[in-house]
Amino acid sequence: MSETTAQIQANYMALVNRRRLYGGLTLLVFILLMATGFNIADARNAGGFWEGLHRIGDYPADVLSEAWEKRADLPGLLLKYFPALIETINIAAVSTLIGALSGLVLSLLATRGLARWPRLIPLFRRILDIMRAIPEIVIALMLIFILGGGPVPAMIAIAIHTAGALGKMFSEVAENADLKPVDGLKSTGANWSQQMLLGVIPQVAPNYLSYTLLRFEINIRASAILGFVGAGGIGYELRNSMAWGPGRFDEAAAIFILLFGTIVFFDQLSSRYRNRLTEGAHQ
Amino acid sequence: MLKVERLTKRFGEKIAVNKATFSAKKPSMIGIIGRSGAGKSTLLRMMNRLADASKGSITFKGEDITALKGAKRRAWQSRCAMIFQQFNLVPRMDVVSNVLHGTLNRRSTFATMFNLFPQSDIHQAIEILDRLGIAEQAPKRAEALSGGQQQRVAIARALMQDPDIILADEPIASLDPMNAQIVMEALRRIHDEDGRTVICNLHTLDTARRYCDRVIGMRDGKIVFDGTPSQLTTGAARDIYGAGADFSEAATSTEIETLERPDTKTKVPA
């Protein structure tokens, strides 16, 4: 029994009207939540959003005007804080490397179809969840309390978070990997590590590297922030110069310039390499 | 009406289409044949303005198409519908929505975002689907349909544009012979009943012969043949495909009947 065109039209219109009703209701709920949520947040704010809004540019203006007055010192300051910047980048690089390697192992152990011990997949997944869930700054503060200030606690804190975050992404990539090469290697009597090393890694390497480079960029920012809590590097210097208030704003400006330049530099560098990895080098 | 003059497309060193020139005075059904890589697709993409021409011009009813920009270019694209080999539908959306995409040039982004198509358009879309014999599929997702059905949805999207010209880029290359016939007959009917110009890239000779009033042959980016199907002799076909004496029409056929045709000169080894 086939329907007539008129029936099909009527049925489809009913479907469309139902969809529109649901869509409209969702939109209404969204707008209501946004509006009421904003009011609650504003009421709980210490200063008040609207009273503070026009002063939002005051601090940057102070920094800029003072930096401009003392612009002659700027090259010297850039040179002075350059070693601190290197320390920050080093923290990021080491933690990315360690985090990516442990993330790689954990991800393979947590992927369905690839795991060495399939029953332990939930365990490894939870481990990854925990590593991601605890903020870097909390781990760093704990470790600074135990180990004392310096770059090592920051490095460990960022590496833990990186392993959790990358492990999750790696595992999603590995889930889509083709299992035929793994079966082929298994049939020759290869052990699990050999199967992973030769059957899976070559397939997923471009994606993994691309995610790792992205993570490196994020970690530079993270390592600068951890400097604020005493983990060394450029963040520490930035906090000092900002906490002093007017008088050392030229130093703050120099550090901002260094940070901005570094992030732009590594962003460009990594996006270039990521493009090459995903699209292949141009002949 | 339609005039293509010395149309050329370069990709770096490579010339994909080389000074293609042809014109059509009245709406007709034109088949373009040639090997893969002969420049057929590039020619159609330039006519739709999906690709820009390197040189030369396309004129339609006195308007220079190659010079159009921005909104005017998009308006031309809505008058010049395109059908693709791989259908190019939005797989996760239902069939009627896919057909309604034919009206996007007349709709604002806001209306599109909230899926606000007028009821008259929705009814028209289902009528077009009915005309192509797939109205029952209206509420299904496009990806749930067979290849032949998906291509008919693509044709419905093209008809929804109410175009002057329909360009079809290898519309039957991914279909089995049965569905290929349904799709080609639908395109022919659109030309016969609506008087729209249909330009169709085909890689099989007999399809071009059977459904088109005029055949254009391309080889290495150049137009090497332009005439009626009856003028398309085996010799001319060998020229287009750059094939030797062993070339027979059955070799490129997708029709079921040709396989059983008694006059094909296949040598049976002794």
Distance CA B60, CA B3 (A): 6
What are the structure tokens assigned to B167, written together?
């360009």
pLDDT at B128: 94
Residues A52 and A149 in one domain: no
DSSP string covering A90-151:
HHHHHHHHHHHHHHHHHHHHTSTTT-SSGGGHHHHHHHHHHHHHS-HHHHHHHHHHHH-SSH
pLDDT at A68: 83
* pLDDT band with cut points at 50, 70 and 90 for residue A233: confident
- Pick from A28-32, A240-244, B18-22: least confident: A240-244
Domain ranges of chain B: 26-50+68-260
Q: Is the pLDDT of residue B113 over 70?
A: yes
Distance CA A139, CA A127 (A): 15
Q: Is the pLDDT of residue A275 over 80?
A: no
Beta bridge partners of B23: B3
Q: Is the pLDDT of residue A109 over 70?
A: yes
Residues A105 and A180 in one domain: yes
For A13-64, the pLDDT digits (tens) are 999 999 999 989 999 999 999 999 988 888 887 767 777 778 888 888 887 8
Distances (CA, A) of A23 to A32, A33, A268, A280, B107: 14, 15, 40, 42, 19
Q: What's the CATH number where A147 sits? A: 1.10.3720.10
Q: Do B139 and A5 touch (CB under 8 A)?
A: no
Q: Is the pLDDT of residue A281 over 90?
A: no
- A2, A13, A23 member nearest B122 (Cβ): A13
Provide the domain limits for residue A112.
60-279
Residues A124 and A39 in one domain: no
Residues A52 and A127 in one domain: no
Q: Which residues of A touch B130 (CB under 8 A)?
A: 5, 8
Q: Do A9 and B136 touch (CB under 8 A)?
A: no
Residues A255 and A267 in one domain: yes
Q: Which residues of A touch B117 (CB under 8 A)?
A: 16
Longest dimension (CA), chain B: 71
Distance CA B182, CA A248 (A): 79
Q: Is the pLDDT of residue B258 over 80?
A: no
A105 contacts: CB under 8 Å, gap ≥ 6: none
How many inter-chain contacts (A to B, CB under 8 Å) are there?
A: 34
- A5, A13, A20 member nearest B130 (Cβ): A5
Q: Which residues of B touch A11 (CB under 8 A)?
A: 139
Which one-letter DSSP state was computed for residue A281?
A: -
Name the minimum distance, in Å, from the CA of B114 to any CA of chain A.
8
Give the CATH fold of the B26-50+68-260 domain. Rossmann fold (3.40.50)
Q: Is the pLDDT of residue A282 over 60?
A: no
Interface probe with B: pick from A4, A12, A22, most Cβ of B within 10 Å: A12
Residues A65 and A175 in one domain: yes
Of the residues A19, A34, A56, which one is the last residue of a structural domain?
Answer: A56
- Rounded (5°) CA angle B126-B132-B135: 40
Of the residues A16, A34, A56, which one is the last residue of a structural domain?
Answer: A56
pLDDT at B125: 94
Residues A52 and A65 in one domain: no
Q: Is the pLDDT of residue B264 over 70?
A: no
- A2, A9, A19 member nearest B126 (Cβ): A9
Total of domains in chain A: 2
Name the minimum distance, in Å, from the CA of A35 to any CA of chain B.
21
Q: Could you tell me the pTM of the whole model?
A: 0.73
pLDDT at A4: 84
Q: What is the mean pLDDT of chain B?
A: 88
Q: SS3 for chain B, per residue?
A: CEEEEEEEEEECCEEEEEEEEEEECCCCEEEEECCCCCCHHHHHHHHHCCCCCCEEEEEECCEECCCCCHHHHHHHHHHEEEECCCCCCCCCCEHHHHHHHHHHHHCCHHHHHCCCCCHHHHHHHHHHHHHCCCHHHCCCEHHHCCHHHHHHHHHHHHHHCCCCEEEEECCCCCCCHHHHHHHHHHHHHHHHHHCCEEEEEECCHHHHHHHCCEEEEEECCEEEEEECHHHCCHHHHHHHHCCCCCCCHHHHCCCCHHHHCCCCCCCCCC
Max mean pLDDT among A43-47, A232-236, A278-282, B84-88 falls in B84-88
Residues A207 and A265 in one domain: yes
Whether A13 has its CB under 8 Å from any CB of chain B: the answer is: yes
Q: What is the mean pLDDT of chain A?
A: 87
Residues A271 and A251 in one domain: yes
pLDDT at B257: 58
Residues A98 and A199 in one domain: yes
* pLDDT band with cut points at 50, 70 and 90 for residue B251: low
pLDDT at A1: 45
